[in-house]
Structure 1
Amino acid sequence: MQKFPTSRKSVFNAVFPPILTDSTSFPTGVEKIFLFLLLLAKLSQMKKITKRIFLQSGFAYLLK
């Protein structure tokens, strides 16, 4: 199971490769929009995963 990073910076670094967060190659307007959409997709995906884990662990707890 993949351990999710806790701090915001590590989450950002996990979502975006270091190349994209490098200040020398700062993303243009179009790339920013693309990155924002990518971030939204990642967050909704993580929300689904955490919801599933929460439900499974909740049911496992109830069945014990």
Structure 2
Amino acid sequence: MVVPEIAVRGWFKSSFSAQANDCVETRRLVPGGMAVRDSKDPGGPALLFPAGAWSSFLSGIKSGEFPTD
């Protein structure tokens, strides 16, 4: 279930998406963490990540833990 407060405002899309609807969007949560949703389905479900999990994910990306191809 999407919480109404996160359903409408504050979503951001990567500048690499060229304004197409083929990527994910993110939104900061209060008091921390991140919500992620599919840009093709903005009214659909969002995944909610606690601040620690999101921080670990970003660290993994920066360290090259995830393959890029």
TM-score (norm 2): 0.28
Flag the structure with higher helix content.
Answer: 1
TM-score (norm 1): 0.30
Flag the structure with higher strand content.
Answer: 2
| Higher Rg | 1
